[in-house]
C-alpha cells in the first residue's frame, strides 16, 4: 500500500488519504537477497475471529482504524481526504462508544496512525486539502497532549513533502518513511525522547516503508521488489525476512505485535484485497471481514491478537472494524 501519481492511495500504507507528493515503490530489488523465506510460503486459517464494525458518527461514509494498543484503545480517522472532506483524527476508547478528537494543532487534515501503551500517539498531518489530492504530509508525535512535528531531515525530498509516522512502541521509538524527489520511500526510526533519527534499510532495496515496530525493536513494512510489492520483518534492525503471500501480486505489511505477528493485506490475481496475518510459527492466514470480502485491509494488531482495519461495504462506504480472536 504508490507511484509518482502525486497522491497516496488507500491501498498503499492503507492510511494515506492525505494526498501528497511522490510516494513511489519504484526500483528493482535483488532477487538473490530478497526471496521470501520458506516460513512465509504456506497459508493457513487456524484462528477464528468475531468482527465488529466501528464508525465515528461524524462521518458514517468513511472511517479507517489504524492501530490498537493492549488496553483496547484504537487510533483512526474519518473523512476521505477529498476536497471539503478532510481527514480528521481520533482515538476510540475501549468501550467503543467514546470518540476523542485528535488533530495536529492548526492542521487542515490529520491521521492518527499508531499508539502505544504509554499514551503516546503518532501520525501525520497536512496543511492542505486540495481537490487533486496533492497535499503535503508531515509526521507528528503527541506526548501527553504536547504535539510536535517529526520530519526526517531529508536533503532531496519530494515536492510537496511526504513524511509519515506510522507506528510506535512502548520505548517511545516510532517508525515511518519519507519520500525523495524520485518517488522512492525511505524507512526510518525516530526516538521520541532523544529526537534522533536512524534509517531502516536493506541491501538491494530502492524503496522501503517502515510501518510498525514492536517493543523488541522488530520492524515490519513493505518494499519494492522488481516492480511488485513484498513485505518484510526485520528483527532488531538486523535480520531481514521477506514475506510474500502465496500467489499474491502484492503483499503489504502494516502492523506487528510483540509476538511478531505481522498483519496487513495482499492483492490477489483479480485485484481484490484481503487481510492477512503471519507468524513465524504458522505462516500466513487470510482474514477478511465478512462484510468486506475482497476489500479488507488490516492495519494494526495488539498482543492479545486483536486486529483493526477497514473494508468497503456494499454501499461503497469505507468502514472501520475490530476483529477479536476466539480462543
pLDDT in tens, 165-201: 999 999 999 999 999 999 999 999 999 999 999 999 9
Instruction: Output phi, psi for 321, to 5 deg.
Output: -140, 155
Residue 39 has pLDDT above 50, yes or no: no
Q: Is the confidence at residue 246, as pLDDT, over 90? A: yes
| Residue for grid cell 530478497 | 34
Q: Is the pLDDT of residue 16 over 90?
A: no
Is residue 17 one of the residues assigned to a domain?
Answer: no
CA distance 322 to 309: 7
Residue 264, domain member (yes or no): yes
- Read off the pTM: 0.88
Domain membership of residue 273 (yes or no) is yes
Residue 42: which pLDDT band, with cuts at 50, 70 and 90? very low
* DSSP per-residue codes, 149-167: E-----SSB-SS--EEEEE
Residue 47 located in a structural domain: yes
pLDDT (average), residues 120-141? 97
In a domain, 3, yes or no: no
Boundaries of domain holding 248: 31-325
pLDDT for 179 equals: 98
Residue 172 lies in a domain: yes
pLDDT tens digits, 269-282? 999 999 999 999 99
Higher pLDDT, 21 or 94: 94
Greater confidence, 98 or 17?
98
Q: Is the pLDDT of residue 19 over 80?
A: no
Mean pLDDT of 2-28: 33
Q: Which three cell numbers stand for residue 63?
A: 472511517
Residue 249 belongs to domain with CATH number = 2.120.10.30
- Assess if residue 16 is contained within a domain: no
Which candidate, 217, 130, 218, 122, places its Cα nearest to that of 164? 122
pLDDT, position 191: 98
pLDDT at 45: 52
Task: Return all residues near 212 (Cβ < 8 A) that are at least 6 apart.
Answer: 114, 166, 167, 175, 219, 220, 221, 253, 254, 255, 256, 300
pLDDT band at 24 (very low <50, low <70, confident <90, very high): very low
Confidence of residue 237 (pLDDT cuts 50, 70, 90): confident
Q: Examine the pLDDT at 31 and tell me if it is beyond 80.
A: no
- For cell 502505544, name the residue: 116
Is 6 inside any structural domain?
no
Give the total number of structural domains in the chain.
Answer: 1
In this predicted structure, the answer to whether residue 211 has a pLDDT above a threshold of 70 is yes
pLDDT value at position 34? 40
**DSSP of 265-307:** EEE-TTS-EEEEEEETTTEEEEE--TT-TTB-EEEEE-TT--E
Amino acid at each position: 500500500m504508490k507511484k509518482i501519481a502525486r497522491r497516496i492511495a488507500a491501498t498503499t500504507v492503507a492510511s494515506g488519504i492525505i494526498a501528497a507528493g511522490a510516494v513511489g515503490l519504484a526500483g528493482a530489488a535483488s532477487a538473490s537477497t530478497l526471496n521470501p523465506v520458506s516460513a512465509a510460503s504456506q497459508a493457513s486459517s487456524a484462528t477464528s475471529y468475531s468482527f465488529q464494525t466501528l464508525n465515528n458518527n461524524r462521518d458514517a461514509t468513511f472511517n479507517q482504524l489504524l492501530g490498537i494498543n493492549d488496553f483496547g484503545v484504537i487510533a483512526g480517522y474519518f473523512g476521505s481526504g477529498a476536497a471539503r472532506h478532510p481527514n480528521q483524527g481520533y482515538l476510540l476508547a475501549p468501550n467503543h462508544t467514546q470518540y476523542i478528537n485528535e488533530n495536529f494543532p492548526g492542521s487542515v487534515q490529520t491521521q492518527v496512525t499508531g499508539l502505544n501503551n504509554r499514551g503516546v500517539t503518532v501520525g501525520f498531518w497536512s496543511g492542505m486539502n486540495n481537490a487533486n489530492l496533492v497535499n503535503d504530509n508531515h509526521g507528528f508525535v503527541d506526548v501527553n497532549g504536547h504535539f510536535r512535528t517529526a520530519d526526517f531531515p531529508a536533503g532531496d525530498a519530494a515536492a510537496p513533502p511526504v513524511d509519515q509516522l506510522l507506528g510506535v512502541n512502548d520505548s517511545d521509538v516510532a517508525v515511518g518513511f519519507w519520500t525523495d524527489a524520485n518517488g522512492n520511500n525511505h524507512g526510518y526510526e525516530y526516538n521520541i525522547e532523544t529526537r534522533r533519527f536512524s534509517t531502516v534499510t536493506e541491501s538491494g532495496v530502492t524503496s522501503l516503508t517502515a510501518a510498525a515496530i514492536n517493543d523488541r525493536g522488530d520492524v515490519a513494512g513493505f518494499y519494492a521488489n522488481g516492480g511488485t510489492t513484498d513485505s518484510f520483518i526485520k528483527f532488531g534492525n538486523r535480520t531481514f525476512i521477506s514475506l510474500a503471500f502465496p500467489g499474491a501480486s502484492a503483499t503489504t505489511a502494516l502492523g506487528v505485535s510483540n509476538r511478531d505477528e505481522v498483519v496487513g493485506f495482499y492483492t490477489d490475481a483479480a485485484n481484490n484485497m484481503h487481510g492477512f496475518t503471519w507468524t513465524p510459527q504458522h505462516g500466513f492466514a487470510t482474514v477478511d471481514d465478512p462484510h468486506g470480502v475482497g476489500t479488507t485491509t488490516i492495519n494494526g494488531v495488539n498482543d492479545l491478537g486483536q486486529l483493526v482495519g477497514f473494508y468497503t461495504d456494499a454501499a461503497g462506504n469505507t468502514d472501520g472494524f475490530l476483529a477479536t480472536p476466539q480462543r
